[in-house]
Structure 1
Amino acid sequence: MASSPPRILIAASGTGGHLFPAIAVAQQLPDCKIEWLGTANRMETSLVPDDYPLNIIPVEGFQQKLSPKTLKIITGFITSIFKTQKLIKEHNIDAVFTTGGYIAAPAILAARLQKIPAVIHESNYIPGKVTKFLSRWCDVVALGFAGTSQYLPQTETVHVSTPVRSQFLAPQALDLNIPDDAIVILVTGGSQGAVSVNRLVRESAPAWFDLGAYIVHLTGENDPDADSLKHPNYISMPFSNNMAGLLQRANLAISRSGAGAITELAFTGTPAVLIPYPYAAEDHQSYNAKELADAGAAVVFKQSELTAAILQEQVSEYLRSPELLQEMGHKAKNLAITNSAERLAKIVRKLITNN
């Protein structure tokens, strides 16, 4: 009689930084039965249901200060632990894999209660609160950056980098009206967009057009001035489902520095001007950006210190120096670990086999 397939619960919610690596790992486990743990009204509700059953729990992030909502958050958290535990029992889950964030907490605690293995992947250089507090209850703590281990001194860790979407594994066609020999600047603020960066780019863009550059600008959904710039060399859209194709084509990226963005820039060998999101928890985007900057693959600017004039001149300098951009691209590519998703899938399989 054939044995039943391994059953895995993946807990990933919220932003592309949590979801895309988790999806990449899931794609490396085609023979496994996967259940997905998420929350309502987040990205997973549109990205996950077509491929994996999505189970919603009422967990929310804890606030810094007590408020009338605190009791509701605590109640939702406790409810989420027991709902997840019930899910593990009903589906005979063999292991839990999570990419962190507040949804990881009930997933790890439920796995602990059910005495099944749990794996957490921390993509940011500075680990999040859940990773810091609950990683000791995980069987494996996998890291996007090797240096993150210093912040988890009592935890055994393994450096695997951060998985990228499957589209990054092969060249992608780009259906945009851009000449093959044109220099392309890609501007992206991550899955949420970056209105402040968008403004700086639009002020700087005329100088770059004068140098013959094309700009592909992913503005996000919340920019009131998204349609304000018109130019034959300017292509604007809220987001793109072909980030791999855009990064593969781009000669330079202007980007936030979430862990996913850093990994994708390295994977495609795309030099970058990085503007870390200033309100990220514990300024973790600045630490992420430092990895590329220290390797000579990017330049980093604090948003509070960056003006349109500074950005215009820095990018113009790069546009005049294609050899420098090429060298930066090589340095970025040297940082890439191309089999991160396979490594994580192998870790999960091994834990199930040994459990």
Structure 2
Amino acid sequence: MKEIVLIAAGGTGGHISPGVALAEVLLEKKDFFQIETVFLHSLIRNKDNPDLLSPPCPVLWHSMPKYSGVSFLIFPFQFLVSFISTCLELKKRKVSVVIGMGGYSSLPAILYTILFRKTLYLCEQNCIPGKITRIFQNFAKKIALSFPVESYTFQNQNWKIIGNPLRKKVIPNQMNLRQNENLHDNKRNLLNVLVLGGSQGARQLNHMILKAMENVEVSQKFRFRLLTGNSLYDETKSKSKGEAEIISYADDMKPNYEWANIVVARSGAGVVAECLVFGLPMVLIPYPYAADNHQKENAEYMEKEGAAKVIHSTSEDPSPLVRYLLEWKENPSSLRDMGHEALRLSNINAAFQTLSYFFHSHG
């Protein structure tokens, strides 16, 4: 019997993007995986998320309330309404399998699988499993991990490290180190630095880069492209005194990754996974207020494996970044080595392999 699959990808972009990547592959390989229909399940306030503007399959929207900003007395009733609504919707659609991508907003769909004895699979993007993964691991038939989990041992033994599923539009056309095999292929002999602030805490990164550019040696040897996020574009543009290319948002990230020699970013699992498949050395500045401090663990794992350098800082002091950049400029072979390590850790087939593990593997 063919399965009707719901992918619960509702929280932030870090949960939505890999969920969409899984939906793309399921739709392409419906017969292979014995799938009849695929749905995405997401919060209605995510309707403007870029990955959900033109989704690969129908999206079932729900309105689970936020923990914050809701009265402690009102929240249980609002949650109950959302949960009952989700159950009715999924029963009507005859959903037989739920893939939870993490985040509290996947809770109604996960509880549906428990209440109605449906199949649950979990995907965990980070080096520290989120609360949903930890709480519901024993209800899951299998768990797919993006990275090794060092600080937590699963009681559920059916897990496998596969990699973070990537959307088709971000996967490079060919796996190589074009960016760093020839580090002197432009007339001014400059290295290209791509700066990705992410949705949280981008201001610190933007200001750190602008201050780094005030260093004469850095400004002469590097080109910068800042993706600021829409809300910080005007502020960053007004403070910029150098030649940085400042962009508010890019729907198509592939040309930016192809342009870059180095990436400076937060250490969310999605951005890190995308940098890996392009063989890009990274300077990672973890967002210190991320849940369970998972960005710190992600960054430190990348550094331990030789694909990144980590700056643990909440200040805008550019000194550590300047030091790394100038060291790499003087020693380009170390940059190439980091690129090789990044490629070693990458998996462009993570989406397909995750689904194969869920639906075909008996391990």
The two structures have a TM-score, normalised by structure 1, of: 0.87
Distance 1:68 1:8, change over 3 A: closer
Q: What is aligned with 1:147?
A: 149
**CA apart distance, 1:108:** 0.9
Q: 1:127 touches 1:148 (CA, 8 Å); kept in 2?
A: no
Q: 2:204: which partner in 1?
A: 196
Q: Which residue of 2 aligns with 1:62?
A: 67
| Equivalent residue number for residue 219 of structure 2 | 210
Seen in structure 2, the aligned counterparts of structure 1 residues 228 and 317 have a Cα distance that, compared at 3 Å, is: farther
Residue 115 of structure 1 corresponds to 117
Instruction: Find 1:322's aligned residue among 314, 332, 339.
Output: 332
Q: 1:186 to 1:45 in 2, by over 3 A?
A: closer
Distance 2:108 2:168 in 1: 28
Range that drifts further, 324-333 or 226-235 = 226-235
CA positional deviation for 1:112: 1.5
* Structure 1 equivalent of residue 279 of structure 2: 269
Residue 22 (str. 1) matches residue 19 (str. 2): yes
> How far is the alpha carbon of 1:115 from its aligned partner?
1.5
Q: How many angstroms does 1:241 deviate by? A: 1.8
2:103 is paired with a residue whose SS is coil
- What displacement does 1:152 show? 2.3
Match of 2:341 among 316, 323, 331: 331
The answer for the alignment partner of 1:175 in structure 2 is: none
Tell me what 1:166 maps to. 168
1:35 to 39, 48, 65: 39
CA drift of 1:127 comes to 1.0
Amino acid at match of 1:90: K
Assess if the C-alpha contact under 8 Å between 2:17 and 2:51 holds in 1. no
Conserved? CA contact 2:192–2:259, under 8 Å: yes
Matches within 5 A, 1:176-255: 179=186, 182-192=190-200, 194-207=202-215, 210-223=219-232, 225-230=235-240, 233-255=243-265
Question: In the TM superposition, what is the alpha-carbon distance from 1:128 to its structure 2 partner?
Answer: 1.0
Return closer, same or farther for 1:68/1:211 CA change in 2, 3 Å cut-off: closer
Point out where structure 2 has 5 or more consecutive residues left out of the alignment: 175-184
Structure-1 separation of matches of 2:46 and 2:159 = 29
Q: Whole-Å Cα distance in 2 between the matches of residues 214 and 43 of structure 1?
A: 35
1:271-313 Cα shifts (integer Å, max 9, x gaps): 0111000101121101001111001211111123662233222
For the pair 1:290 / 2:300, whether they are aligned, the reply is yes
Looking at structure 2, the residues matched to 153 and 135 of structure 1 have their Cα atoms a distance apart, in angstroms, of: 8
Q: Work out whether residues 267 and 337 of structure 1, in 8 Å CA contact, stay in contact via their aligned partners in 2.
A: yes
Q: Are 2:88 and 1:86 equivalent residues in the alignment? A: yes
SS at match of 1:158: strand
Q: Which residue of 1 aligns with 2:180?
A: none
**In the TM superposition, what is the alpha-carbon distance from 1:179 to its structure 2 partner?**
4.9
RMSD of Structure 2 on Structure 1 (CA): 2.6
Alignment of 1:134 onto 2:145: no
1:235 to partner: Cα distance: 0.9
User: What TM-score do you get using the length of structure 2 for normalisation?
Assistant: 0.85
CA distance in 2, matches of 1:319, 1:288: 26
1:135 touches 1:141 (CA, 8 Å); kept in 2? yes
Q: Which 10-residue stretch deviates more, 322-331 or 37-46? A: 37-46
SS in 2 for 1:199: helix
For 1:325, give the aligned amino acid: L
Instruction: Tell me by how many angstroms 1:46 deviates.
Output: 4.8
Would you say the 8 A contact 2:20–2:51 is kept in 1? no
Give the whole-Å Cα distance in 2 for the aligned partners of 1:7 and 1:303: 46
Residues 272-281 or 50-59, more deviating: 50-59
1:8 maps to what in 2? 5
Give the whole-Å Cα distance in 1 for the aligned partners of 2:314 and 2:98: 40
> What is the deviation of 1:53?
2.1
Secondary structure, aligned partner of 1:147: coil
Which piece of structure 1 moves more, 239-248 or 281-290? 239-248
Relative distance call for 1:344 and 1:60 in structure 2 (3 A) is: farther
Identity of aligned residues (%): 28
1:101 — aligned with what?
103
